[in-house]
Structure formats: C-alpha cells, structure tokens
Chain A
Amino acid sequence: MNLLAIVDFSVVEIFAARSGWSGFFTLSTLVVTIAATIRLATPFVIASVGESVGQRSGVLNLGVDGVMLLGAFGAYYTTLETGSPWLGLAVGTGVGAVMGLVYAFITVTLHAQQGISGIGIYLFGLGMSDLLFRQLVGTPKPIGGFEGLFEFSVPETRFDVAYPDLYNHSILVYMAFLLVPAVTLLVNRTTFGMNVRAVGETPEAADSLGVSVTRTRYSTIIIANSLAGVAGAALALEKGIFIQNITNGMGFIAVALVYFGAWRPIGVMAGSLLFGLVNALVLQWKTLGIISGATAQLAEMAPAAVTIIALVVVTNRIGQPSALTQPFRRGAH
C-alpha cells in the first residue's frame, strides 16, 4: 500500500497536465471513477435486487420507478422535517412496503394483469410524489442526508490518506452491497426462498404441497417494493435533495437489470455496476475533455446502449421464472 501511494504520487507529478488520456490513467482519477461507479450503481443494486425477489416468485412490477419516487419523497420530507436521515430511511422503506401491499392486493388477490397494474403504480408514484412535494415543500431545499453524517471510516492508514474515495461512502452504499449476499442466502438457503422459487416456477405444485402462493407472493412483493422505497430513499438522502421525477426512469432500468442478471442477485449487481461504470467513464472522459462535442452526445447513449446490447447478448434466458406475470388461481389450470 505504501508502494501504491508512492507510485500514484509520481504518476500525478509526471502527468501534471490534466487533459487527455494521460489525465485519465492516474490512480487518483481511476479511484474517483470507481467510486463514482459504486455510487451510481447503488440505487440500482437496491431496487433491482429487491425486484429480483418479486420476480422469482412470479410477479413483475413495472411500477418500481413510481415506488422509488414515493420512497425518495418520503425519506426526503421526513429528513427535512425531523433532521434524522435514519427516520427518513425508515419512512421511505415503509412507504415502499405500503405500495407493495397495494400492488400485492391488486395483482395477487384481484388477479389483475401485472404489466398494466405496474404502469398504474408508476403513474401514481410519479404524480403523487410531485403533488406532495409541491404541497408540502414547494421549492427544493437541501437536506443533510447520510452524506457526511454516517460516512464509513476505517482507522487511518497510508491507504486511507491516499484513497479515501474508495471506501468513504455513506452507510447506504454498504447496506446496498450487503443485500446481495443476504438475498442470495434468503432465496437459496431458506425454506421461504425455496417456496419463492417454487411459486415462481410452478405455483400449482407449491399450492398442492400446502405452500400458500398468496402469502408467499405478498411477502416477496412487499420485500421488493420496500427495497424500491429504500432505493428511492438512498437517492434522495445521498443527494440531499428532491425534485420532480428525480429518479429519471431508474426504476425501469432496474427492472431491465433483473433480466440482465438472470434473476440472480450477483448477476443483478454485476449489471448495476456495469451500468454505473459506463456512466462514470463517459462522465469522467467528458470532464477530462477526452470526448467532447458530437462524440460526447453520442456517448450519452452509451449506458442505455450497453445495457440493451448486454441484455441481448448475455442474458441467460433459462433463469426466467416460468410463472412470471402469471396470476395464480387454484384449480384453474
């Protein structure tokens, strides 16, 4: 680590000129890029890992973006009023859970078509979050989120001095990435997870063995939507602000990333990081003037393009739960 610091120091000295590729290939710039990748990926990781749980049980929710918006507003407003981002996070999660309950009632109890219902949830979240923001807040006011408040810090080392950006993230970032092993464990190693997989694949079989399809799907939908709420909360608390449509369609990317990750948390995380990395690279290159003008405008499409191409090329279709989007009615087959 000591060596690393020395290398970086000399590299910085040699390439003092900070334009062009030489500026990009400095350790500090690479570190900043990696840190940006992680931050950009965080809301996606939370939302899409959550959504993967819902989809494993056979329920698709296109309303993730709407739930994120409501979670973001709930967290923002609570923090603005109380000054406590923890309380904000709790409210954001709770708002997500309530939306999950609503969505579960619509799709599981009422057997509504999932695609259209999800769109309804999205529209509701988009409109409602904006309306509440205007009524209750009005003009954007910054809040103290987790930024600076709960930053993770390790005992000082030389590495610490050189690259705090690498790990100096808010606690939310760490929570997001801890979700990946947690959800993997939940799905693969618990009886609940086994029920989820069975219900998403062959709900009739699960039902015939006394596994309640309804209860299982309610649980997964509430988990998925709570995490969408957390993702929105993370966005608002990390940025310390809320504006209309702050998610900018992130929830839809999150749904796509579930397909990309073949319904496995680790794959979903890889997809989120890839998306974050492409965004961070494009941004960093623009900052350094490596790309500019028309090239830069072209590059703005790169994250979406890479995601779609990767989806087409990489996605392992075998992982798709057979009962995805299929409502379950006992004895109806």
Chain B
Amino acid sequence: MPANSLQSQSQPESQSESPSPPSPYLLEMRGITKQFPGVLANDRVDFNVKAGEVHTLLGENGAGKSTLMNVLYGLHQPDEGEVRMNGEQLSISSPSDAIARGIGMVHQHFMLVPTLTVTENVALGLKSDRRPLTDLPTVEKRITELSQAYGLQVDPNAYVWQLAVGERQRVEILKALYREVSLLVLDEPTAVLTPQEVEELIAVLRQLATDGRGLVFISHKLHEVMSVSDRITVLRDGHVSGETTPAETSREQLAQMMVGRPVKLVPDKPEVDVGEVKLVIKDLEVEGDRGNLAVNGISLEVLAGEIFGLAGVSGNGQRELAQAIAGLREAKSGTVSIDGTDVTNAHPSSVRKAGLSYVPEERMRDGVVSGFSVSENMMLLSRRESEFARFGFMRFGAIKEHSSNLVDRFAVKTPNIDTPTRNLSGGNIQKLILARELSSSPKVILAAQPTRGVDIGAAEYINEQLAKQKANGCATLLVSEDLDEVLALADRIGVIYEGRLMDVIDAKTATPHQLGLLMAGVAKAA
C-alpha cells in the first residue's frame, strides 16, 4: 500500500494507536436511528464493513441509504446508535471529523469546485507546508503518483469544469486517496458512466479493496451490485430488510427485498406490428444554453407501435433534442413532424394538438407545478376543454371525478387529490405526469428519462404503461441513460454522442458492450 510516505496532515494515524480491543470490523454502525419531521429515515440500522471488502448498500430512494451515510460523514447527527472505527467509538459532528478518521466519500452530486483546478480541488481543506501560501506542486506530484498507481488518469492542471463526468469522478476518488482514507463511500457512482467506464471503475474499486481499504458501494443497479459486491445490505423504509452475498442471492431476490413484493425486472415486450411513420426528425440542429450546437444534425423516424430508444450519457444533446421536439426550444435548422403535421418551432400547444405527449426530464420543473394540487396538475392539459370548463370557469365536479379516475387508474399514491404535488414521492409524481399525458390518447410519446430517480416498483409500472401504449399503436421515443431500460423496452436503439446519432441498432442484436462503445463516441462498434 503506497500510502505511508506522503504527508497528509489532516489525518491522525488510525491504525495502531487506539488501545481498543481488536475488532473484526473496520466500521461498525450499530442501532442508528434518525428521525426527520414526519419520517423515520433510519430505524435501528446496523451496518458494518470489513477492511478489504466492498459492501453494497442497496435500497430504493428514500429507504434511508443517504441518511445513514450522512450520519457516517458528519452531515447528520443520529438520534440513537453509535459509530465505531476499528472498535473505537467515534462522535462525528462534521465532515472534517470524518476525514480525520480516515472516512472518504464520493458523493452522487460531485463535491468539486468547477472553477478550481484538479490539484486545487484535491488540496482544498489540507494544511499546506508553505502556509499561508498554497503548496500546489507537492500536491500535484502526489496526484500524479496516485493516478498512475490506480489507473485514474486525469490532468492535474485542468480546471474541473473542463473535465468529462468520468474524469470528475476520478478526481473525487483521488481526493479521498490523497487523504489516505481507510474507508471509502461511493454514492451511486455509476449513475453517470458508460458501461465501459463502469467496468473501469469496478476494477479500481476492487484494487482499492485489495489494498486493504473498506468500501461502501451505494447503488440501485442490480447487475452492478451483483458484480462488484462482497456483501450486500438492503434497506427498506429506514430499516435493514436483509443482508446477503451475491453468491446467495439473485437480482430478483434483491429487488423483492427492496420493494417488499415480487417485481418483474424485465417488462414483457409485446410483439406489435409496426404501422406508418408517426414521428419524423430530419437534419435537426439545436443550440444549447451556451450557444453550442447541442444537437448536430439528427435524423430519425419512429413508427406506430414502436419504441425507439435513444441511449447516451446525459449531456450529449438529449435534453435539447427533447425540448426542440416539444416546442420548448428553438430548432436552428431541420424539421420535426408529428403524424404528418410539420411542428418545427411550433408553439407547444400546437405540438400537443398534433398528437404529442411529453414526459419531461426535469419533472419537478417542467412536468408539474409543484405547489398545485394533484388534481390541478392533472388538469393542466385539458383545462380549456368544455368538459371541464364553462365560459372559462372550471367545473370542479367534473374535474374531481376525472382526477380521481386517473389517480386510481395509474395507481398514484396520494392522500387525496387536493394534496400539494410537491408532497408526493418522485415515483408518484412521475405516475401523475404519465396519467395526465397518456390519458389524452397520444399518437407520439416523448418520454425523457421516465424512470430516473424513481423506485423500482414505480419504474416497473411506468415501463408497463409504455409497453401498453405501444400495443395501442403509439409511437414512442424513449430517451434514457439507463441502458438496461432501453434494452428491455426498445425495438430499435439509437445512440447519441455529442449531438450526433452514432448508429441505430436493432434491439434484438444489441449488446451493452456495443452500445457502451457508441456512447463513448467510438464510431461503428466492431
């Protein structure tokens, strides 16, 4: 382990000094309980990690994984329970305490300062030998050593804003390694990576474990969990619902432990005869927020009864493409037509009239008015229809009935239809949007990241609904960065990279490896 020659100043040596009795565990969390207003986020949770293992913490959103890790990292104080490292009880009241104890965390939302260089980001918070001045050359040298030792290639002098997502993650890991962590927590580290990057990351994680560190891997992607973990602990509703190892379990069992009932992971793909062309995009160019060409000449067609999956790492033009189709962003050139109607740069209401239903990526911002009630959000589309309004006044009786119907049909879990939408979980908000969008019997569905951040149960339901619409002869453009989802649902798969469509592949023959290469911009995979 190459970590003893450097002078990391923030960390007291954690290995031999404590006189506590030998513990088989590097980390022990016992009986952690944390209550938030209205939510018992952690309910007597036990969790431990041995040196040299990768221990996965698995659970739905809101199951309590983040709370548990925030307790470990000093961001929350537990109401009850204790944390021990190497048998010694700790009180961790801030991230600096955690760092001093050799705990490192790679957060899901990277904790990097974009306007600082890689070296500065690593040096941040460390004492410098040249106080009060910084000592960046020393830090840079050490970073280079570490990145060579672990294959974490990154330019120490680059600004973080210049880096790709995968590189930023490497910086996060380097930050932890520089601080000689003995325990490293990675929160959803694969969410933003291509399959190849995921493989590289897993290799790095295995090496870190082999070097004697303990790793906590947080994920909800079951196949990654199966491949990386030594042990798996599943959380559900704030308590531990099971502990197992990959050898003893299966993805289906894990999903059941997460949700509390059997879950169909791979939706049935109905065989539907495709019909005529419903959505045509031709040579579309769209500018991004910074005036760059975010969509750079994309052409594609989606047929009735077909789901076209658009895969790609997020930030490659998917958002701009979806917005341009829905009439929310100006197309610079090219055309979009829906069911034979040209809707290029048409007003969003015209686009909808032509037959489009849109499930937006930013569901809290673009999908609902979060302060509105469930029924008001249900009505957003149809509020001018005579059925629900007379002389511009809303007919509340009809609206209530319609909303209640939809809530039942789409299994939206809400106390009642007057509940403010912001109080619903992500999965239920997505169901609400789906209920609203699909109830208008669309010809074309544009679904952007429909299951991102949604629990497995709701994702299962959403996927079923999309499959059902397909059977009804709807043409669906499914934009997703979840390859499993795309492979499971789509009939054809296109891969978007830097605003271009790399290739379109028949889903029957596509493999994750092949798609991953395309997602990384390697043209026409062999």
- A residues sitting closer than 8 Å to B (CB atoms) are 189-195, 197-198, 201-202, 204-212, 322, 330-331, 333
Given contacts A209-B175, A210-B99, contact A201 B116 (CB under 8 A): yes
Whether B95 pairs with A205 at a CB distance below 8 angstroms is no
Given contacts A190-B132, A190-B133, contact A208 B95 (CB under 8 A): yes
Whether A209 pairs with B116 at a CB distance below 8 angstroms is no
Whether A209 pairs with B99 at a CB distance below 8 angstroms is yes
CA distance in complex: A238, B116 (Å): 40
Kindly report which residue of chain A lies nearest to residue B96, judged by CB atoms: A210
For this complex, into which size category does the number of interface residues on chain B fall?
A: 20 to 34
CA distance in complex: A189, B132 (Å): 8
Whether A191 pairs with B95 at a CB distance below 8 angstroms is no
Given contacts A208-B105, A211-B124, contact A198 B133 (CB under 8 A): no
CA distance in complex: A171, B483 (Å): 68
Kindly report which residue of chain B lies nearest to residue A331, judged by CB atoms: B75
* Other-chain contact of A209, B75, B95, B115 (Cβ < 8 Å): B95
Can you list 23 A-B pairs, Cβ within 8 angstroms, ordered by A?
A: A190-B132, A191-B126, A194-B123, A194-B124, A194-B134, A195-B124, A197-B116, A198-B113, A198-B124, A201-B113, A201-B115, A202-B113, A204-B109, A205-B111, A205-B112, A206-B113, A206-B124, A207-B95, A208-B73, A209-B96, A209-B125, A322-B115, A331-B70
The smallest beta-carbon distance between A126 and chain B, in angstroms, is: 35
Whether A210 pairs with B125 at a CB distance below 8 angstroms is yes
Kindly report which residue of chain A lies nearest to residue B132, judged by CB atoms: A190
Q: Does B128 contact A (CB under 8 A)?
A: yes
The smallest beta-carbon distance between A319 and chain B, in angstroms, is: 9
CA distance in complex: A205, B107 (Å): 10
CA distance in complex: A255, B99 (Å): 37
Given A197-B115, A209-B111, 4 more pairs with CB closer than 8 A: A189-B134, A209-B124, A210-B100, A210-B125
The smallest beta-carbon distance between A271 and chain B, in angstroms, is: 21
Kindly report which residue of chain A lies nearest to residue B10, judged by CB atoms: A210
Whether B133 pairs with A202 at a CB distance below 8 angstroms is no
Q: Does B269 contact A (CB under 8 A)?
A: no
Q: Does B437 contact A (CB under 8 A)?
A: no
CA distance in complex: A206, B107 (Å): 13
Chain B neighbourhood of A205, CB < 8 A: 110-113, 121, 124
Q: Does B53 contact A (CB under 8 A)?
A: no
The smallest beta-carbon distance between A279 and chain B, in angstroms, is: 34
CA distance in complex: A201, B116 (Å): 9
Given contacts A191-B127, A197-B113, contact A210 B134 (CB under 8 A): no
Chain A neighbourhood of B455, CB < 8 A: none
Chain B neighbourhood of A204, CB < 8 A: 109, 111
Kindly report which residue of chain A lies nearest to residue B73, judged by CB atoms: A208
Q: Does B28 contact A (CB under 8 A)?
A: no
The smallest beta-carbon distance between A138 and chain B, in angstroms, is: 46
Q: Does B287 contact A (CB under 8 A)?
A: no
Whether B113 pairs with A192 at a CB distance below 8 angstroms is no
Kindly report which residue of chain A lies nearest to residue B109, judged by CB atoms: A333
CA distance in complex: A198, B116 (Å): 7
The smallest beta-carbon distance between B309 and chain A, in angstroms, is: 31
Q: Does B180 contact A (CB under 8 A)?
A: no
Chain A neighbourhood of B123, CB < 8 A: 191, 194
Chain A neighbourhood of B105, CB < 8 A: 208
CA distance in complex: A207, B111 (Å): 9
Given contacts A205-B113, A209-B111, contact A191 B70 (CB under 8 A): no
List the 9 closest pairs (A to B, CB-CB), nearest first.
A210-B96, A209-B125, A205-B111, A208-B111, A331-B75, A210-B125, A198-B113, A202-B113, A190-B132
Chain A neighbourhood of B100, CB < 8 A: 210
Whether B125 pairs with A211 at a CB distance below 8 angstroms is yes
Chain A neighbourhood of B131, CB < 8 A: 191
Whether A189 pairs with B95 at a CB distance below 8 angstroms is no
Q: Does B144 contact A (CB under 8 A)?
A: no
The smallest beta-carbon distance between A222 and chain B, in angstroms, is: 17
Kindly report which residue of chain A lies nearest to residue B128, judged by CB atoms: A191
Chain B neighbourhood of A201, CB < 8 A: 113-116
Residue of B96, B114, B115, B126 most packed against chain A (CB within 10 A) = B115
Chain A neighbourhood of B94, CB < 8 A: 210, 330
The smallest beta-carbon distance between B17 and chain A, in angstroms, is: 20
B125-153 contacts to A, CB under 8 A, are 125-128, 131-134
The smallest beta-carbon distance between A183 and chain B, in angstroms, is: 14
Chain A neighbourhood of B95, CB < 8 A: 207-210
CA distance in complex: A9, B105 (Å): 72
Chain A neighbourhood of B44, CB < 8 A: none
CA distance in complex: A189, B94 (Å): 27
Whether A330 pairs with B125 at a CB distance below 8 angstroms is no
CA distance in complex: A198, B115 (Å): 8
CA distance in complex: A200, B147 (Å): 28
The smallest beta-carbon distance between A330 and chain B, in angstroms, is: 6
Given contacts A197-B116, A198-B116, A205-B111, contact A189 B124 (CB under 8 A): no
The smallest beta-carbon distance between A326 and chain B, in angstroms, is: 14
Q: Does B306 contact A (CB under 8 A)?
A: no
Kindly report which residue of chain B lies nearest to residue A321, judged by CB atoms: B115
The smallest beta-carbon distance between A331 and chain B, in angstroms, is: 4
CA distance in complex: A8, B116 (Å): 50
The smallest beta-carbon distance between B12 and chain A, in angstroms, is: 13
CA distance in complex: A271, B133 (Å): 28
CA distance in complex: A201, B124 (Å): 13
Chain B neighbourhood of A211, CB < 8 A: 124-125
The smallest beta-carbon distance between A70 and chain B, in angstroms, is: 30
Chain A neighbourhood of B128, CB < 8 A: 191
Chain B neighbourhood of A194, CB < 8 A: 116, 120, 123-124, 134
* Other-chain contact of B133, A191, A195, A206 (Cβ < 8 Å): A191
Given contacts A207-B95, A211-B124, A331-B76, contact A191 B109 (CB under 8 A): no
Residue of A190, A191, A198, A201 most packed against chain B (CB within 10 A) = A191
The smallest beta-carbon distance between A39 and chain B, in angstroms, is: 33
The smallest beta-carbon distance between A282 and chain B, in angstroms, is: 38
Chain B neighbourhood of A331, CB < 8 A: 70, 75-76
Kindly report which residue of chain A lies nearest to residue B127, judged by CB atoms: A191
CA distance in complex: A211, B175 (Å): 14
The smallest beta-carbon distance between B96 and chain A, in angstroms, is: 3
Chain A neighbourhood of B127, CB < 8 A: 191
CA distance in complex: A193, B132 (Å): 9
CA distance in complex: A210, B127 (Å): 11
Kindly report which residue of chain B lies nearest to residue A195, judged by CB atoms: B124
Chain A neighbourhood of B70, CB < 8 A: 331
Chain A neighbourhood of B75, CB < 8 A: 330-331
CA distance in complex: A42, B95 (Å): 42
Interface string of B153-186 (1 = CB under 8 A from A): 0000000000000000000000100000000000
